[in-house]
A = this chain, B = another copy of it.
């Protein structure tokens, strides 16, 4: 490790420890699922002292909550393509690539499975989606401002509608979505929004 001044940010070691631990936790979740997540094992995989991991995260559910917070922070900012359909397609492709990625897809399935029986994980998962939906909702709001979609369209509902069929396919049939499914999800949400299905008061 370099000791040159300026190459090591304050908090650099803390940030590196966190990155290594979250990476290891994600690996275990993707490979073996929530039931096999164990702080001592994560510490070993991350090559971090067990005491550090216990002191900093304390429990498996706190570790998963921090992993989801980090995933939300790390997730890509939305694209702006100039049209609401283009923006929804960009969002849809991003969700599709994430769920079709073997590690990421397995990680999401594991966390969603854990959320079914652990309330703290369920809360962390809700926060993750709240961040993602808030990131992409402005593309729908801009579409309304440009007159592409009806006034009063619920932007968050449209963004969630794009993701729904992609997650549904993965979770109920184990089928990772392909680019054609992503395109169809975006066009379906757009068509429904255009028809006023997501406009409040209708």
Contacts and interface: CB of A to CB of B under 8 A. Distances in A.
B198 A192 contact: no
A160 B173 CA distance: 11
Interface in A157-202: 157, 160-161, 163-165, 167-169, 171-174, 184, 187-189, 191-192, 194-195, 197-198
Interface stretch (A46-54, A57-65, A72-80, A107-115): A107-115
A3 interface: no
Contact of A168 (B122, B168, B184, B194): B168
Contacts of A172: 112, 115, 125-126, 129, 167
B173 A125 contact: yes
Contact of A197 (B113, B129, B161, B191): B191
A1 interface: no
A160 to B, nearest CB: 7
